[in-house]
Amino acid sequence: MSHEMEGHLKFGVFFAIIMILISFLTMSAVDRPGASSKPKQINSPTVNIDGNATLYHTTMSSNIALNLTMDEGQEVSWAVENSAGSGTITINFPATLYWRDGTKFDTVDFGEINVYTFLKINNKIFVASVTDLQQ
């Protein structure tokens, strides 16, 4: 291969890498795999977390049933805000969830926000963490 052709080839590879980087950097957060620009708001007695966002937010004053359908390896967070005024919200989690030490954190007291992080590994959904936030 001549030096001239080798120079053109290097330039072509360099140009292609630059174009790929520019296209990735100009994507909005929603276009990037596994990313979302803002929480997906779901205010319903039945919450379906389908993995199309990385953060879900629910503000409720009544009990909640949860359905989870996530892809393998996916991590999703769900913030549950109690707006009941004085009561406690009970969350009916799927029986197939795996909790640390088997302890369920299925209630959200008035004035609290519980943030649940779910992780799907080996076709099982684990509750990776629960954070109890006070308002």
Q: How far apart are CA 117 and CA 128, in angstroms?
A: 5
Q: Which residues contact 128 (CB under 8 A, 6 or more apart)?
A: 75, 117, 118, 119
Q: What is the pLDDT of residues 64-79, one digit of tens each?
A: 999 999 999 999 999 9
pLDDT category at 84 given cuts 50, 70, 90 is confident
Statement: the pTM of the whole predicted model exceeds 0.75: no
